Amino acid sequence: MTESDSPFAASLDELGVTVTSTDRAGVPAAIDEAVVEPAVGVSPGEEFAHGDFPLAEAGIDLDPTPAALEAATTGVSVAELGIGDYGSLALTSTGDGSELVSLFVERHVALLHEDDIAPDMDEAVETLEKTLARTRGSTIIATGPSATADMGALVKGAHGPETVHVIVVEGGE
């Protein structure tokens, strides 16, 4: 497991988002380290050509009930894209509730393939345009934790997660 020094990692660092990079073999350990239990998650969808991440092995409730979701501290989901210059993640809403799992928790842990990091917003939006035109789906470009300045000072963790952790999975198939 290594700390990455890519531009993406640097952007995440500026946002206060912690990041670990690992090869596929190291994913369970990385998840184990990143989650604070109780943890829930969703299985990566079939459209992720890179195959399954071994979430279940890490003791994460992969199809939680709403009550389990509400009780969870951590939500684990897959990010479809990373955006290098902003440190953003593209989180696609799926029928099994990825949006709920990444939103109704205090801590969001996102898994991201290194290959899916777009260098900049321009390229990322271009990719999203193609995907959304085809799927007519929904994607959140999430950058750092949720935040508000409405109460007189900047506070992290408004309605959404207070902390975000990204696990970048290196290497191909």
Positions in the binding site for other proteins (CB under 8 A)? 42, 63-70, 86, 88, 93-101, 103-104, 121-122, 125-126, 128-129, 132-133, 136-155, 157-161
User: Could you give the CA distance from residue 151 to residue 35 in angstroms, rounded to a whole number?
Assistant: 29
Least distance to other proteins from the beta carbon of 25, Å? 28
DSSP state string for the chain = -B---SHHHHHHHHHT-EEEEE-GGGHHHHHHHH--SSEEE-PPPTT-TT-----GGGT-BSS--HHHHHH-SEEEEE-SEEETTTTEEEEE--TT-HHHHHHSSSEEEEEEEGGGEESSHHHHHHHHHHHHHHH---EEEEESS-EE-TTSS-EE-SSS-SEEEEEEEPS--
How many angstroms separate the CA atoms of 78 and 90, rounded?
9
**1 or 68: CB nearest other proteins:** 68
Closest to other proteins by CB, 44 or 144: 144
Complex with other proteins: residue 25 or 68, whichever CB lies closer: 68
Minimum separation from the CB atom of position 50 to other proteins (A): 21
Minimum CB separation of residue 23 from other proteins in Å reads 29
Rank residues 22 and 92 by Cβ distance to other proteins and give the closer one. 92
Is the Cβ of residue 36 or residue 140 nearer to other proteins in the bound state? Answer: 140
| Closest CB 39 distance from other proteins, rounded Å | 14
The minimum distance between CB 78 and other proteins, in angstroms, equals: 15
